[in-house]
Amino acid sequence: MNAKRMLLNAGTICLLATAVLLSQSALSGSASATPGDAPAKGDNLKQRVKILELLQEEDDKEFLLVDASLSDLNARVEANEERCKRTSKRLVQTDKRAQKRTQQISDNRAGIRMIRGTIERLKADLRANGIKLSD
């Protein structure tokens, strides 16, 4: 008897389940997911968005984002410019020194040419006076 009752109950449940499935199919209409056909079901993402919005107060609709690191960047740009100025000064001084050296070298070369010229004239004079010179 108990077994019979259990079997009957199981059969009833299966019948009911089938009926539910059939009625779901009849009510939901087409199987393809075209907009508006299927009944609206909850999308987890929509619920998440609602929660996010509720967690924050909303008073001012206008949104303003400020990049505070721009001032960091300006400070770095200014520091770089200072370094560039100092480097430029040093470069100018180095340049002046280089110019001096170049002038000195040029002067020395002129001096050497004069001395060579004088020596050649002396040699010529000595040879003219019959004095033999080694090369």
Partner 1 sequence: MKTTTIGILFTLLSLITFFAKPLFISEPVPSMLPDVGTKIKLVVCSATSARKSSLRNTELVNNIVNGLDEDVHVMLLVNDRAAFKQSSNNGRVTFVEVPSESDITIWPQDPFVVVNDKENTKLITPGLFKRKDDRLMASQLSAILGVEVVKSQLLFEGGNIVCGESEVFIGFDTISINSQVFNLSLDETKKRFAKLFGRRVVTIGNETQDIGHIDLIVTPLSNNRIAVADSRLGAEIANRTLTQSPDRITRFERNCERGFFGDASINALVDMDGNSIDCPEVVGQTAIAIGDSQKLADSLDKIATQLAERGYDIVRVPALIPNQESELETETEDKPAPAFPFMSYNNVLTESVANLSIVYLPQYGIAELDTAAIECWERNGFEVRPIEGFQTSAMHGGALRCCTKVLLRE
Nearer to partner 1, 22 or 105 (CB): 22
List residues near partner 1 by CB under 8 A: 3-4, 7-8, 10-11, 14-15, 17-18, 21-22, 24-25, 28, 31-33, 35, 38, 40-46, 48-49, 52-53, 56-70, 72-74, 76-77
Nearer to partner 1, 63 or 128 (CB): 63
Buried b (16+ CB within 10 A) or exposed e, 22-44: eeeeeeeeeeeeeeeeeeeeeee
CB of 22 to partner 1, least distance (A): 6
CB of 85 to partner 1, least distance (A): 14
Nearer to partner 1, 39 or 130 (CB): 39
Q: What tokens appear for 132 in the block? A: 């033999």
CB of 77 to partner 1, least distance (A): 6
Q: Can you say whether the dihedral through the CA atoms of 28, 29, 35, 36 is positive or negative? A: negative
CB of 82 to partner 1, least distance (A): 14
Measure CA 62 to chain center.
29
Separation of alpha carbons 50 and 45, rounded Å: 9
Separation of alpha carbons 37 and 22, rounded Å: 17
Nearer to partner 1, 70 or 133 (CB): 70
